[in-house]
Amino acid sequence: MLLTQLVLAFGGIQGGIRLLIDPTGFEMGIHPELRNSFPVDDFFLAGVFVLITFGLTPLFLAGCLWGRVRIPIAEAAFNGYNWAWGASVGLSILLLAWTLVLVSLIGYRTYYQLIDGLMALLLLNLQLHPKVRKLMIYSKS
């Protein structure tokens, strides 16, 4: 599971930085006529969102999963499960929703949409696997 968070972080960091460097999105395969179907002039804010949400956040969560960092207030929300695991599941759901919204707005236009959708489904499949869930339960010690 740690590896999947790192792969997601890599994709989010490179995708976010590419949108920040080229806010037109042309470099990522977003054609100029597609920009007309969006309510914004460029994708700079989308780049910031992708960089933080799908780049830096999974990197942070990977570190917390690795070190089994405990935050009592966050743990209360996940009923004995590792809070970083719960946040990772939520992030995977957000990635799937983000991908579905993009596909509904512009249709299937770039291979990034396919990669993101498959990554979200792979992450959810791994995160919700019974053996992984069992590992994510905090011991009573």
pLDDT in tens, 90-130: 999 999 999 999 888 777 777 888 999 999 999 999 999 99
Confidence grade of residue 140 (pLDDT, cut at 50, 70, 90): low
Q: Looking at the predicted structure, is the pLDDT value of residue 3 above 60?
A: yes
Report, in angstroms and rounded to the nearest whole number, the Rg of the chain calculated over CA atoms: 17
Q: What contacts 49, CB < 8 A, 6 or more positions away?
A: 16
| Predicted confidence (pLDDT) per residue in 124-134, tens digit | 999 999 999 99
How would you class 121 by CB atoms within 10 Å of its CB: exposed for 0-12, middle for 13-18, buried for 19 or more?
middle
Residues in Cβ contact with 28 at an 8 Å cutoff, skipping those fewer than 6 apart: 15, 18, 19, 22, 110, 112
CA distance linking residue 20 with residue 42, whole number of Å:
10
Find the range with the poorest average confidence among 8-22, 57-71, 100-114. Answer: 100-114
The rounded distance, in Å, linking the Cα atoms of 73 and 122 is: 29
- Direct distance between the N- and C-terminal alpha carbons of the chain, in angstroms, rounded to an integer: 24
Mean pLDDT of the chain: 88
Q: What is the pLDDT confidence band of residue 75, given thresholds at 50, 70 and 90?
A: confident
Q: Is the pLDDT of residue 30 over 80?
A: no
Determine what percent of the chain is predicted with pLDDT higher than 70: 97
- Spatial separation of the C-alpha atoms in residues 56 and 50, rounded to whole Å: 9
Question: Domain boundaries in the chain?
Answer: 2-135
Q: Bridge partners of 137?
A: 81
